[in-house]
Amino acid sequence: MTKINSKKIDPITIEIIQSSMKAITDEMFITMRKTAMSSVIYEVLDFGVAMFDHHGQLASSGSGIPGFIGMLEPGVQSVMAKFDDSVVHQGDIFITNIPHKGGVSHLNDVVLILPVFFEGARIGWLANKAHWVDVGGAFPGSISAEATEIYQEGLQLPCIKVMEKGNINQAVVDIMQINSRQPEITLGDFWAGIASMRAGEKRFLGLAKKYGADTLSYAIADYIELAEKISRDALHRLPEGVYYASEVTDDELDIQVTITISKDEFLVDLTGNPPQQANALNASFDATMVDVQMIFKAIASPQTFANAGTFKPVRLLVDENSMFAAKYPSAMSVYYETSIMVFDLLWKALAAAVPESLPAGHYASICGTFLGGPHPDTGVALSIVEPQIGGWGASNSRDGVNALYTGYHGDTFNVPAEVSEQRNGIMIERMELNDESGGEGKLIGGKGIKLYYRILADNWWITMAYVRSCVGPWGMEGGLRGSHNYINVVKKDGKKTRFRICTALALNKGDVIEVFTANGGGYGNPNERPVQTVLQDIKNGYISAERAKEVYGIG
């Protein structure tokens, strides 16, 4: 790249450009949110936007959730690997979604990539990735833990141009349309993604025009260097050492990690873990790398920005063909449960070392709940894609937080009962804190939730796969494990069945789904919880009198 004399560029101008970059991705984010057709995008924020330098390095990102920050760079890199510069033009838009090949997550998360040209030269890239509600395949919503190959999980878009020199490739659009069970929503979200990138492109070009391509490129490089410097300084302040954790999964697999923090590296060793699975609970190497990036950021400098520089001190070791770096064509639609399992494992390994940054274990499952069927008023087929909120762990100084989205999520909003009932034609019978036991300690784990959906029409279905359904969130320093994530399906005749995984289970009018999400892990010995505090817990109904007697000997 052309390195220009930095002395000529005053620090004020650099600062102004860098804060404008943040404004660019913020604007892309807002545009996407306001134009999207599905609640998984506009409420759940299952999407991310980002801008890159001309090498395809992440420069700035706009995201409501941390899990999407590091997800777009592999996509841009895959375009640069596949297409020679001579065939990348102004007005092109690329589309890709294969997780093993730069798509990172699962086929539902479709990536759009736009090269930005100024005065004939490419000065950077913009990208947008969003969860599309249905990309075809064997299962409604394109998600099932039971998938065994990616071919069952929907339409694969192998890094191709969906737009060339400003002209839409209608053939690709038609293929996308015919392959979706929700074609209108799918195309609406596709156009929303393009609108968001165009909003970003306008601003990106505005910066180039105002400050010149060289100054802009210098400011971007400086921003990436700054992020790296912040990370390296933070690394110096973290306690050096080797940290280990293991857990047993609901499928009785032993998983383990060793993390080495030294002055110049954050090394995560995930070798020796189970091989890739014959189901959809696999994650790509890139997805596992996102976990490593997230936990590093959480303990290093959670309240600053992130770009490619932030993650330079991070290194990941993992066996080929492990379930944390599965190879094509393994199924991956439920990758997110595997990823959060890894995230939780890394978290556990470090919690005792940096207790000021990390509480005890939280409910650690996306609890993705996919429901669909005809709307009782109109008969129109619809689908609901909802992660659930749950309980967070206690820390060394306070009780855990009640009813919050996972550490993988962020500024994600649940869908209000009033809106959901109208939009989806179901009934939310209750939405309250989980009163099951678990997570007691000197400081108690936060409460999960108890959410009941009543189905109001025949021919509905549900798909879900929750982890931490058999082994609750871990406590610290003698605090108890929390409760479990699961659902009960209560048929109209009163027959109740508990599930941790199900695929396209048939539901009819009058059936009720009872969702329970886990209470977080406790901190410290329950005997040390002050009597007055326990009495207040009983008064507030956070614990029953019987359970208080059992665990605390009070009441």
Partner 1 sequence: MKSIRAASDIGGTFTDLVYYTVDEKNGLATNIKAVKVHTTPSEYQKGVMNSFDKANVNLSELAFFAHGSTVVINALTERKGVKTGLITTHGFRDILEIARGNRPDFFNLQYQKPTPFIPRYLRHEIKERMDYKGNVLTAIDVQDLYPILEAFKEEGVEAIAVCFLHSYINPKHEELVVSFINEIWPEVALVASHQISREWREYERTNTAALCAYVQPIAEKYLSKMQAALHEREFSGSFYVMQSNGGIDTVDSVKKTPISIVESGPASGVLGAAALGKLINENNIIAFDIGGTTAKCSLIDQGRVNITNQYMIEKDGFSAGYPVMTPVVDIVEIGNGGGSIGWVDEYGKMHVGPQSAGAFPGPVAYGNGGTEPTTTDANLMLGRINPNYFIGGEITADMKAVHDAFEQLGNKLSLTAMEAARGVIKLANHNMCNALKLISINKGYDPRDFALLAFGGGGSMHASTLAVELNIPKVIIPANASVFSAWGMLMSDLRRDYIRTQPVTFSIEHADSISNTLSAMQQEAMEAYQKEGIVKQDIYFEQLLEMRYSGQEHTVQVSVEGSEVSSEYLLKLKTDFNYEYNKKYTYELTNAIELVSYKVTAYAKVDRPSLAKITSTGNIDDAIKDIRKVDFDSAGILNTPIYNRDVLFAGATFSGPAIIEESGSTTVVLPHQQVLVDDYGNLHIEKEAVNHD
- Which stretches within 316-397 are classed as H helix? 335-351
Residue 99 to residue 329: CA distance in whole angstroms: 10
Closer residue to partner 1 in complex, CB, 9/80: 9
Instruction: Give min distance, CB of 538 to partner 1, in A.
Output: 10
Q: Taking the mean position of all CA atoms in its chain, how far away is CA 524?
A: 30
- Nearest distance, CB of residue 86 and partner 1, angstroms: 29
The distance of closest approach from Cβ of residue 389 to partner 1 in the complex, given in angstroms and rounded to an integer, is 4
In the complex, least distance from residue 156 CB atom to partner 1, rounded to whole angstroms: 25
Which residue, 237, 323, 309, 234, is CA-closest to 273? Answer: 323
Give me the least distance between CB of 270 and partner 1, in Å please. Answer: 20
Q: How far is the CB of 456 from partner 1 (least distance, A)?
A: 9
Coil, helix or strand at residue 545:
helix
**What size, in residues, is the chain?**
555
Is the Cβ of residue 97 or residue 412 nearer to partner 1 in the bound state? 412
Which one, 56 or 393, has the nearer CB to partner 1?
393
Decide whether 343 or 552 has the Cβ nearer to partner 1.
343
Q: Which is nearer to partner 1, 505 or 535 (CB)?
A: 535
Pairing mode of beta strands 314-317, 266-269: parallel
- Do residues 135 and 155 touch, judged by C-beta distance below 8 A? yes
Shortest Cβ 233–partner 1 spacing (Å):
8
Task: Say how far residue 233 (Cα) sits from the centre of its chain.
Answer: 27
Indicate the residue among 49 and 280 with the shorter CB distance to partner 1: 49
Residue 229 token pair? 């410097």
The secondary structure of 485-542 as a DSSP string is -EEEEE-TTS-EEEESEEEEEEE-TT-EEEEE-PPPPPBS-GGGS-HHHHHHHHHTTS
As a whole number of angstroms, the distance between CA 432 and CA 420 comes to 16
531-539 vs 545-552: helix crossing angle, rounded to 10: 160
Return the number of the residue (316 or 428) whose C-beta is nearest partner 1: 428
CB of 14 to partner 1, least distance (A): 8
Distance separating alpha carbons of residues 126 and 24, to the nearest angstrom: 10
Q: Considering beta carbons, is residue 66 or 372 the nearer one to partner 1?
A: 66
3-class state of residue 323 by DSSP: coil
Shortest distance, CB of residue 88 to partner 1, whole angstroms? 23
* Tokens coding 160: 């191709």
CB of 423 to partner 1, least distance (A): 9
Q: Are 446 and 364 in contact (CB under 8 A)?
A: no
Answer for the pair 536, 480: CB distance below 8 angstroms, yes or no.
no
- Shorter beta-carbon distance to partner 1: residue 188 or 274: 188
The smaller minimum CB distance to partner 1, of residues 63 and 97, is found at: 63
One-letter amino acid for residue 33 of the chain: R
AA identity, residue 380: V
